[in-house]
């Protein structure tokens, strides 16, 4: 299977999506300042329709119900003329500050265990065997992935609030519906920042171009002054303290690492940097998946996490119907959704709840088995 | 709002403040232009002419010009200089004038900081507040091994530092806490220069008068002529319209053409790209000559350095990923998956394909003779 979906699978997904959007037509999340946002739809035919606009929530919901898109997106930027296809003529007015945390970049140990290659001849290769022509990588999701993402989000929140002074009530957190989290900041003071300024913020968060000399200059000689440090240097000091078990003043550190201060600082920085995708933060012409819309990679929703600690994405984002659907699964690692464990499966034909079937079908590892009546669902 | 009262001598150095205008009124000077009709011959008008010329042509204001003049004449000379520059209608001239004035102010404030730090800090804070509408707060805070004297809100800091060298001014190289960036006084003065320059530029450009007196029109015309002579030939610069160049490069060239001061990394990237694209050094220097803070000697030195002509290594062109991370990528459909700006160029030059015609998109330049239109000058 190449990952391209068959007609029956697309029909099943389209029906499931339609039902979800009808059921939630009055509770879909609507972007603030909707009339100034660019809207984009990914269609089930695989086309990206960009540069649309919706004047009212009713217009947007109407278009969603009419077209039943595979993916729904909105711009982080506000424009005078969001429907203008020429980026330069949209009339940029400002943008939310957005962060994307992709679990793939965090390399949790579970990833090597559950991600795999699905090959054209129907065989399956573990990730460690490496890529081959004719094989495509299938990314899986498990509770450990979610936990890795959640930890990173918490680190980002701490930094945004303590260092950058962002008010908690201007921060929104979302589970992406696949294997990541999005953090959006709507702050009057940050709205006008251009690309260069956003690149500065992304750089601060990810510490990608930090200067060890700057840190070394700040590092105090005496233990009493260590507590005056703030910002990322304070976090690096904590990491050094945890690693070496002593207060990392400059003399103490130099004595410990035998002159190679640089390597010690680098290692500590690697432990405290927040791994975001910087391009997402910088690129203000980007469109983002709309919260509460369905993610075409899984059929799960992009879930607002009002409380990041309590939020349970693999339960709450599995929003499609529970109605059983008969599927033929080629291969699937263990899948944990809504508190139940499904699989692992290997060449099995069985009935699974709609949201599980949708996940497997979206991943290109299952086909719908048509019932005698020809309908793909109840 | 900070409450500061300025002495008259002090106001002579801060001619762009509301308080400076008030002083003129108290002294019985009319600041409406029609009443300035005294015209040439008045010492402050002569001073204004010299001041405009110093900023626009020399790119710097020699403090000697103003030395000894009474504060109200120093203020009036600024007003008149700004009107003359505004009357040229030339954005490049306005930027150059604004930059020179902002540099002049920076020099005065640095002197002040050497003489009396506390005083200087109060004054600098007052200018932040009155001119930029930003709060620069005095603090005396020991953070680690360093003592910081002032702090500025994050968004204001990012706004003011956006065109400075990120390796020094990027927030990752700063102490940031609670939404504030902590600085030494001198750093806040350097940053103020950026803000004041932008502020003055806007003000000069909007300072058009409906029926300017003849001497002012004549002075503006003379200034325009002189600037046109002094500015290196634009026609030598690589054309921004060249379809050989990726959109990021074209966009930077356009920004340069319009007289914008490019951020540090943008300049480096552009120079490295043009060097690697085989554009002659003179043409590259000419491209930068449109930058309001252009200094030919320094620019030439830097470009030669990047080109490896000074014995060092030749700098390579940053990748698309790096440009994206720095907010300089302007990817469009023509990029079609290239990973570096140079790859775009190579693809466009088509490795030995005939240079003329035939390429889709029609953006084919191949027309090195096709020069950028001259701007208003
Ligand atoms: Zn996992």
Domains and CATH numbers, chain A: 96-206+298-317 (3.90.920.10), 212-272 (no CATH), 319-378 (3.40.5)
B139 and B168 assigned to the same domain:
yes
Please tell me which residue, B212 or B80, carries the higher pLDDT value.
B80
pLDDT at residue B164 greater than cutoff 90: no
If one counts every other C-beta atom within 10 angstroms of the C-beta of residue B9, the result is 10
B95 and B147 assigned to the same domain:
yes
Domain boundary among B204, B223, B242: B223
Calculate the CA B121 to chain-centre distance: 24
B186 and B53 assigned to the same domain:
yes
Q: CATH number, domain at B27? A: 1.20.930
ipTM for this model: 0.91
Quickly tell me which residue has 């000074």 as its tokens: B310
Output the CA angle A366-A369-A374, nearest 5 degrees: 140
Phi then psi dihedrals of residue A50, to 5 deg? -110, -175
B19 and B114 assigned to the same domain:
yes
Work out the pLDDT band at B32, boundaries 50, 70, 90: low
Q: Does B166 touch chain A (CB under 8 A)?
A: yes
Task: Say whether B326 and A199 touch across the interface (CB within 8 A).
Answer: yes
Q: Is residue B353 part of a domain?
A: no
Contacts of the segment A141-144: beta carbons below 8 A, 24+ positions apart: A141/A178, A141/A179, A141/A298, A141/A314, A141/A335, A142/A110, A142/A114, A142/A334, A142/A335, A142/A336, A143/A314, A143/A336, A144/A108, A144/A109, A144/A110
**Partner-chain residue, chosen from B154, B170, B324, that has the shortest CB–CB distance to A165:** B154
CA atoms within 13 A on the CB side of B78: 27
Q: Is residue B197 part of a domain?
A: yes
pLDDT at residue B368 greater than cutoff 60: no
pLDDT at residue B352 greater than cutoff 70: no
B265 and B301 assigned to the same domain:
yes
B84 and B193 assigned to the same domain:
yes
Q: Give the integer Cα–Cα distance in Å for A246 and B362.
A: 66
Q: Are B276 and B316 in contact (CB under 8 A)?
A: yes
Output the CA angle A214-A217-A218, nearest 5 degrees: 90
pLDDT at residue B363 greater than cutoff 90: no
Q: Does A199 touch chain B (CB under 8 A)?
A: yes
β-pair type (A287-289, A116-119): unpaired
Q: Is residue B357 part of a domain?
A: no
DSSP E strands: which ranges in chain B?
136-143, 146-153, 175-177, 180-183
B277 and B183 assigned to the same domain:
no
Q: Give the integer Cα–Cα distance in Å for A95 and A75.
A: 8
Q: Does A204 touch chain B (CB under 8 A)?
A: yes
Q: What does B125-175 look like in DSSP terms, one character per residue?
A: HHHIIIII---EEEEEEEETTEEEEEEEEHHHHHHHHTTS-HHHHSGGGSE
Q: Are A179 and A335 in contact (CB under 8 A)?
A: no
B123 and B153 assigned to the same domain:
yes
* Across A259-266, average pLDDT: 86
What H or E segment, with its residue span, contains residue A51? Answer: strand A48-52
Work out the pLDDT band at B377, boundaries 50, 70, 90: very low
Task: Say whether A193 and B327 touch across the interface (CB within 8 A).
Answer: no
Task: Say whether B325 and A196 touch across the interface (CB within 8 A).
Answer: no
pLDDT reported for residue B33? 59
Task: Say whether A250 and B263 touch across the interface (CB within 8 A).
Answer: no
Q: CATH number, domain at B245? A: 1.10.579
Which residues, including other chains, have CB under 8 Å from residue A89's CB and lie 6 or more apart? A81
Q: Does B178 touch chain A (CB under 8 A)?
A: yes
B97 and B216 assigned to the same domain:
yes
Please tell me which residue, A357 or A250, carries the higher pLDDT value.
A357
Nearest residue on chain B to A190, alpha-carbon basis: B155
Count of domains in chain B?
2
Q: Please state which of the ranges A21-35, A325-339, B81-95, B329-343 shows the lowest mean pLDDT.
A: B329-343
pLDDT in tens, B45-90: 899 999 999 999 988 898 888 888 999 899 999 999 999 999 998 8
Q: Does B173 touch chain A (CB under 8 A)?
A: yes
Q: Give the integer Cα–Cα distance in Å for A178 and A100.
A: 12
Q: Is residue B362 part of a domain?
A: no
The nearest CA of chain A is from the CA of B142 a distance in Å of 7
Three-state SS at B15: coil
Task: Enumerate the residues of chain A whose CB falls inside 8 A of the CB of residue B162.
Answer: 194, 196-197, 200
What range defines the domain where residue B241 resides? 234-348
**Partner-chain residue, chosen from B143, B162, B180, that has the shortest CB–CB distance to A218:** B143
**Partner-chain residue, chosen from A163, A192, A225, that has the shortest CB–CB distance to B144:** A225
Domain boundary among B194, B223, B252: B223
Q: Is residue B102 part of a domain?
A: yes
**Partner-chain residue, chosen from A163, A211, A220, that has the shortest CB–CB distance to B177:** A163
Q: Give the integer Cα–Cα distance in Å for A305 and A150.
A: 10
Q: Give the integer Cα–Cα distance in Å for B114 and B132.
A: 24
Q: Does B258 touch chain A (CB under 8 A)?
A: no
B67 and B196 assigned to the same domain:
yes
pLDDT in tens, A163-172: 999 999 999 9
Q: Are B23 and B75 in contact (CB under 8 A)?
A: yes
B126 and B205 assigned to the same domain:
yes
Task: Enumerate the residues of chain A whose CB falls inside 8 A of the CB of residue B145.
Answer: 217-221, 225, 250
Question: Per DSSP, what are the bridge partners of residue B143?
Answer: B146
Which residues, including other chains, have CB under 8 Å from residue B43's CB and lie 6 or more apart? B69, B73
B167 and B260 assigned to the same domain:
no
CA atoms within 13 A on the CB side of A96: 25
Which of A230, A248, A250, A281 has the highest number of chain B CBs within 10 A, making it the mutation to test binding with B?
A230
Sheet architecture: strand order including A324-332: A345-353, A324-332, A366-368
* Across B225-248, average pLDDT: 73
pLDDT reported for residue B328? 85
Q: Is residue B367 part of a domain?
A: no
What is the percentage of chain A residues whose pLDDT exceeds 90?
A: 82
Q: Is residue B370 part of a domain?
A: no
């Amino acid at each position: 299977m190449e990952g391209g979906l068959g007609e029956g699978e697309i029909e099943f997904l389209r029906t499931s999506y339609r039902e979800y959007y009808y059921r939630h037509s009055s509770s879909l999340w609507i972007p603030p300042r909707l009339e100034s946002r660019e809207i984009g739809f990914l269609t089930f035919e695989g086309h990206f329709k960009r540069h649309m606009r919706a004047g009212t929530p009713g217009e947007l919901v109407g278009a969603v119900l009419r077209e039943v898109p595979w993916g729904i997106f909105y711009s982080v930027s506000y424009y005078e003329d969001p429907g203008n296809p020429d980026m330069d003529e949209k009339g940029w007015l400002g943008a939310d500050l957005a962060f994307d945390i992709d679990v793939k970049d965090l390399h949790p140990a579970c990833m090597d265990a559950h991600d795999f290659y699905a090959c054209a001849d129907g065989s399956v290769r573990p990730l460690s065997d490496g890529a081959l022509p004719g094989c495509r990588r299938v990314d899986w999701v498990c509770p450990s992935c979610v936990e890795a993402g959640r930890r990173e989000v918490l680190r980002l929140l701490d930094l945004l609030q303590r260092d950058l002074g962002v008010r908690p009530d201007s921060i929104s957190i979302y589970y992406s519906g696949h294997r990541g989290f999005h953090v959006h900041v709507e702050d009057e003071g940050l709205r006008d920042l251009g690309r260069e300024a956003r690149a500065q913020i992304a750089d601060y968060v990810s510490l990608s171009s930090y200067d060890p000399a700057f840190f070394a200059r700040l590092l105090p000689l005496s233990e009493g002054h260590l507590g005056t440090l703030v910002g990322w240097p304070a976090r690096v000091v904590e990491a050094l303290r945890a690693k070496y078990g002593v207060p990392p003043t400059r003399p103490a550190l130099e004595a410990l690492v035998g002159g190679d201060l640089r390597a010690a600082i680098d290692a500590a920085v690697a432990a405290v940097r927040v791994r975001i995708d910087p391009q997402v933060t910088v690129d203000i012409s980007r469109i983002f998946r709309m919260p509460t819309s369905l993610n075409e990679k899984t059929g799960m929703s992009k879930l607002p996490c009002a409380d990041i600690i309590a939020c349970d994405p693999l339960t709450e984002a599995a929003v499609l119907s529970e109605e059983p659907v008969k599927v033929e699964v080629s291969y699937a690692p263990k899948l944990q959704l809504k508190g139940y464990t499904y699989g692992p499966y290997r060449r099995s034909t069985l009935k699974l709840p709609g949201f599980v079937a949708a996940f497997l079908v979206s991943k290109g590892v299952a086909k719908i088995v048509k019932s005698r009546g020809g309908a793909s669902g109840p | 709002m900070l409450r500061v009262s300025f002495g008259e001598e002090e106001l002579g150095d801060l001619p762009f403040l509301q308080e400076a205008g008030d002083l003129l009124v108290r002294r019985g000077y009319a600041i409406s232009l029609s009443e300035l009709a005294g015209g040439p011959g008045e010492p402050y008008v002569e001073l204004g002419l010299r001041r405009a010329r110093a900023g626009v042509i020399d790119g710097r204001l020699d403090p000697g010009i103003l030395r000894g003049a009474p504060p109200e004449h120093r203020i009036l000379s600024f007003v008149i200089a700004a009107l003359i520059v505004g009357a040229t209608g030339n954005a490049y001239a306005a930027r150059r004038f604004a930059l020179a004035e902002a540099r002049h102010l920076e020099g005065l404030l640095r002197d002040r900081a050497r003489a009396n730090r506390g005083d200087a800090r109060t004054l600098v804070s007052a200018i932040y507040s009155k001119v930029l509408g930003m709060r620069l707060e005095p603090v005396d805070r020991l953070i680690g091994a360093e003592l910081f004297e002032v702090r500025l809100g994050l968004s204001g800091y990012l706004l003011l530092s956006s065109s400075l060298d990120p390796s020094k001014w990027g927030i990752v190289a700063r102490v940031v806490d609670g939404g504030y960036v902590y600085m030494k006084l001198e750093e806040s003065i350097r940053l103020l220069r950026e803000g004041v320059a932008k502020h003055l530029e806007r003000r000069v450009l909007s300072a058009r008068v409906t029926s300017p007196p003849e001497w002012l029109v004549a002075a503006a015309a003379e200034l325009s002529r002189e600037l046109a002579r002094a500015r290196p030939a634009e026609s030598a610069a690589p054309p921004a319209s060249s379809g050989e160049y990726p959109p990021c490069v074209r966009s930077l060239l356009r920004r340069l053409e319009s007289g914008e001061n490019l951020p540090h990394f943008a300049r480096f990237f552009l120079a490295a790209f043009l060097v690697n694209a085989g554009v002659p050094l003179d043409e590259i220097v000419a491209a930068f000559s449109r930058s309001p803070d252009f200094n030919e000697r320094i620019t030439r030195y830097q470009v030669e350095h990047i080109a490896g002509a000074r014995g060092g290594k030749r700098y390579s062109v940053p990748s698309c990923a790096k440009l994206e991370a720095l907010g300089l990528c302007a990817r469009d459909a023509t990029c079609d998956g290239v990973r570096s700006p140079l790859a775009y160029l190579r693809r466009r030059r088509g490795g030995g394909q005939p240079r003329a015609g035939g390429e889709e998109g029609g953006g084919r330049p191949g027309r090195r003779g096709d020069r950028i239109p001259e701007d208003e000058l």
